Amino acid sequence: MAIHDVIYTFVSSLIALFPVINPIGCGFIVNGFLEGLDDEGRKVVIKKIIMNCLLVGIGSLAVGHLILLLFGLAIPVIQLGGGLIICKTGLEWLTGTDAAKTTDTTKSSMQKLQVGDLEKKLFYPISFPISIGPGSLSVIFTLMASAAVEGNLLVTATNYAILSLAIVSLLVILYIFLSQGTRLMKKLGASGNMIINKMVAFITFCIGIQIIVTGFAKIFHLDIL
């Protein structure tokens, strides 16, 4: 492949994946889960989230078609199910209340409880479907179809490698945003964080509805958007 073909494939893949993976928007959402963690705990959790996202992204690229064939799943159905999960998560954030933290002892015990509870949520729903969701998978599956060149294994493998690099690049942006999240939250203050968290929760809920409607429209061949 010529160098301009490599650059074009990488840039087009990056542009297609950026709005669905949305590392900046996801950074705000995930930061809500990490509130109260110390720096060391935060670093460990962020690394696990990025690794989970990497496994989902690269894994779906590697065996995506096989999984869809084995389970007889269609992309619109994945969108519909993923949208419902995202709506549920956004609704929980909208209706949830922050617990009061009165003493240092209470803060410490709540932090331990939060870390223990957070471990159970690292893959679902934080990594999937919040950080990398059904919308991302549907775009990855679409890019896979265009990356495969029949009869030319070398070009196909190169295109897959470039697509993998695009996924990694977006996850690097997400990592940087998450690792700097504490400084941003401190500057915003408690009231600023609450406002942003509620706004992000509402946007998350709306994103879920958007994905549901998209999946529903594709299943029933409707032009409703």
pLDDT tens digits for range 13-36? 888 888 778 887 788 788 878 877
Q: How far is CA 63 from the centre of its chain?
A: 19
Indicate whether 224 belongs to any domain.
no
Q: Can you give the pLDDT at residue 100?
A: 37
Indicate whether 76 belongs to any domain.
yes
* b/e sequence 80-106, b meaning 16+ C-beta within 10 Å: bbbbbbbbebbeebeeeeeeeeeeeee
Using the predicted structure, report yes or no on whether residue 163 has a pLDDT greater than 90.
Answer: yes
* Tens digit of each residue's pLDDT (9 = 90 or more) over 59-111: 988 887 787 778 887 778 877 877 787 788 778 878 865 433 333 433 344 44
Indicate whether 133 belongs to any domain.
yes
Q: Whole-model pTM? A: 0.71
Indicate whether 139 belongs to any domain.
yes
Local structure of 77: helix, strand or coil: helix
Indicate whether 180 belongs to any domain.
yes
Domain that includes residue 196, residue range: 3-219
Contact, 176 vs 26, CB < 8 A?
A: no
How far apart CA 8 and CA 17 sit, in angstroms, is: 14
Domain count for the chain, please give it. Answer: 1
Using the predicted structure, report yes or no on whether residue 125 has a pLDDT greater than 90.
Answer: no
Q: Can you give the pLDDT at residue 108?
A: 44
Indicate whether 225 belongs to any domain.
no
Interacting residues of 199 by C-beta distance below 8 A, sequence separation 6+: none
Indicate whether 73 belongs to any domain.
yes
How far apart CA 183 and CA 188 sit, in angstroms, is: 9
Rg for the chain (alpha carbons), in Å?
A: 19
